[in-house]
Amino acid sequence: MEGFLVVLAFLGLFMLGFPVVLAIGIPCVVYIFANGLPIDLVAQRTLYALDSFPLVAVPVFLFVGSLMNSAGISRYIYQFADTAVGRMPGGLAQVNIFGSLIFAGMSGSALADIGGLGRIEIDAMRKKGFSGPFAAAVTSSSAIVGPIFPPSIPLIIYGTVTGVSVIQLLLGGIVPGLLCVAMLMLMTWWLAHRRKYPRAARWPTRAELWRDFKPAFPAIVAPVILIAGMLLGWFTPTEIASVTVLYAMLISSLFYRELTWKGVLDAAYETIRASAGILLIVAVAALFGWILSVESVPQMLTGIMLSISTNPYVLLMLVNVLLIVVGMFLDSTTAILVIAPIIAKPLVAAGVDPVHLGMVVVFNLMIGLLTPPMGLALFLVADIAKVTMKDVLREMAPYYIPLGITLLLITYVPQITTWIPRIALGS
Amino acid sequence: MALLRVIRTAVRWLSLALLAALVITPLAQITMRGIFNVPMAGAEELARYFLIGLTFIAASYVTEQGGQIRMEEFQGLIPPQPRWLLQLLIELSGAVFFAVMCIAAFVTIGKNLQNQTAVMELPFWLFMGPLALGSLLLMVETLVMLVHTWRRRRPEEKQTVLT
């Protein structure tokens, strides 16, 4: 009972506008004092939550995203995407989606995509006559490919809290990421036909394609190098993050020659702000998770879920409904930390593959980045595009359809996620 | 205020150093293991320590910059006077919460003075130090916000600064 009170108190404080750290932390501290537990628990649980090597990848991958933006890599990705798919119906809207896929291969963060590549794309789309809200909607919906396609910060956090192999999760994200891009491009195609959006006058010649492919090549090839290095055992998923920073700095200074010390410093400060904010929540959420465990909340929820049905497909549907609601109110990191350990147990017990479940959870919560009231991607994109949240949401409406279809496909066709990990790792 | 400025500058530089160390440590491990075949025994522990340091030391910088994630929508519906009181309450409870974290860290250090970490044998006070210092800094930054909100006599339009 007290466990549920802690959850209710958290939701209440969060709705009142308390920062997430305080909304989680204050009920936990009250619980500890009310039950006469030693105060050391507060320090031990919060500190040990961060004593985790996979979490080291979180700030380092955020740094990669910021570096790519500071070093101009995002601009070259955009140029290549423009040449390659700018002639498709939807023009720059298709470029926006395709560019996000390439960006996703080096960065594991949706917000880094919106903050860097998104800025360039929104400006370019406006200049070509697209409305600001539509540009913002395409940018934010395509940015969620970043945390699905490897590397991915939420998948690393999910693997850390549930004990699922991070390598399998990262490999599992390849096909869902590509599927999501295909679905978004199809919707853009359909909208372009209805609304007569502008597009490039002609398809590129081979020479033009080659000209713009060359500068984008180091970014395009990055995921191949990273995945190969991981599978060959050269480095662990956590070490990949540092290798990607080195790679980004090398190509920026030797190949693009655009990286300045000021750019590195700006990227570093941006990373520090973003990562400390997220990781402080991770730390305090560990205390919250511990209280829920002590109060047997996961076991109670497991019992309730399994009493409704033991059919994995029905349970997955329940999880999807739950996560859509949760994703509307919690940011993705908090939601993974709070919800994943609770729902993983009954679902895996019912026969759902843990890697498959991880993808369902993370994809669902990434859609949560695009749903009000707590849609961080919406906040950021509305701020960058200088449009209202209401206008972005109006243009977002059609894009919830491909995202929903992708979610259903990922949920009910587990092979979309498990196929590549099975081939690559034989598990 | 001059002291606060010095502290903030020191926090920023220390956070930068910790981020650099966080990137370099795994790279050093890959190099030592892959090229020289001499893995560094404490590299993982050191990287984890830098992560702990970065999170807690930089947390006050995040607070100062308005980067603590929150949902402002419902608060925006409240009339100005109660909203101002609510903001004061949030900041006051935040300062108390971080004070509790700080005391908890010092109590834990006091009880484990003889302990060390497993591989690097770092003394426990050094291991727990970032939490103690970070919570203290968080408490100070939250108190600064509280004083600022009190002096304004009206609510602030709070927005989460994400990048």
List the single residue in A with minimal CA-CA distance to B96: A26
The CB density around residue B71, as the number of other CB atoms within 10 Å, is 25
Residue B35, burial from CB neighbour count under 10 angstroms (0-12, 13-18, 19+): exposed
The CB density around residue B159, as the number of other CB atoms within 10 Å, is 11
List the single residue in A with minimal CA-CA distance to B127: A47
How far is residue A15's CA from residue A114's CA, in Å, rounded to a whole number? 26
A398 within 8 A of A175, measured Cβ to Cβ: no
Give the dihedral of Cα atoms A208, A137, A322, A145; nearest 10 deg. 20
Q: Is B73 on the interface with A (CB under 8 A)?
A: yes
User: A329–B101: do the CB atoms touch at under 8 Å?
Assistant: no
Identify the three-state secondary structure at position B123: strand
User: B70–A20: do the CB atoms touch at under 8 Å?
Assistant: yes
Closest CA to A177 of A333, A380, A409, A387: A409
B56 CA to chain A: closest CA distance, Å?
7
A89 within 8 A of A199, measured Cβ to Cβ: yes
- Residue A8 token pair: 């209710």
Q: Is B100 on the interface with A (CB under 8 A)?
A: yes
List the single residue in B with minimal CA-CA distance to A268: B16
Residues of A in contact with B50 (CB under 8 A): 56
User: B52–A380: do the CB atoms touch at under 8 Å?
Assistant: no
List the single residue in B with minimal CA-CA distance to A331: B69
User: B162–A380: do the CB atoms touch at under 8 Å?
Assistant: yes
Q: Is B40 on the interface with A (CB under 8 A)?
A: no
pLDDT in tens, chain A (427 residues): 788 899 899 989 988 989 989 999 999 999 999 999 999 999 999 998 888 888 888 888 888 888 888 888 888 888 899 999 888 999 999 999 999 998 888 877 787 788 778 888 898 898 888 999 999 999 999 999 988 998 888 998 899 888 898 889 999 999 999 999 999 999 999 999 999 888 888 899 999 999 999 888 888 888 888 888 888 888 887 888 899 899 888 888 888 888 889 999 999 998 898 889 888 988 998 888 888 878 887 778 777 877 888 888 999 999 998 888 888 777 777 788 778 888 888 888 888 999 999 999 999 999 988 987 667 788 778 878 888 878 899 999 999 999 999 999 999 999 999 999 998 877 5
**Would the pTM of this model clear 0.80, i.e. be above it?**
yes
Q: What would you measure as the largest C-alpha separation in chain A, in angstroms?
A: 74
Residues of A in contact with B117 (CB under 8 A): none
Q: Is B62 on the interface with A (CB under 8 A)?
A: yes
Closest CA to A370 of A174, A145, A126: A145
How far is residue A297's CA from residue B25's CA, in Å, rounded to a whole number? 39
How far is residue B97's CA from residue B41's CA, in Å, rounded to a whole number? 37
Q: Is B46 on the interface with A (CB under 8 A)?
A: no
pLDDT number for residue B160? 59
Residue-wise pLDDT for A235-285, tens only, equals: 887 888 899 899 888 888 888 888 889 999 999 998 898 889 888 988 998
B45 residue type, one letter: E
List the single residue in A with minimal CA-CA distance to B97: A26
How far is residue A242's CA from residue A118's CA, in Å, rounded to a whole number? 24
List the single residue in B with minimal CA-CA distance to A270: B163
pLDDT number for residue A137? 95
User: A22–B93: do the CB atoms touch at under 8 Å?
Assistant: yes
User: B108–A26: do the CB atoms touch at under 8 Å?
Assistant: no
How far is residue A203's CA from residue B91's CA, in Å, rounded to a whole number? 57
Residues of A in contact with B72 (CB under 8 A): 17
Instruction: Please tell me what DSSP assigns to residue B76.
Output: G
Instruction: Please tell me what DSSP assigns to residue A204.
Output: P
Q: Which positions ≥6 away from A273 have C-beta within 8 Å?
A: B58, B61, B62, B65, B67, B161, B163
Q: Is B124 on the interface with A (CB under 8 A)?
A: no
Provide ipTM, 2 decimals: 0.94
A242: nearest CB among B27, B68, B160: B27
A50: nearest CB among B25, B51, B68: B51
Chain center to CA of A132: 23
How far is residue A383's CA from residue B160's CA, in Å, rounded to a whole number? 11
Rounded to 5 degrees, φ, ψ at B116 are -135, 165
User: B16–A268: do the CB atoms touch at under 8 Å?
Assistant: yes
- Residue A61 token pair: 């991958």
A174 CA to chain B: closest CA distance, Å?
25
Which residue spans within A14-109 are E strands per DSSP? Answer: none
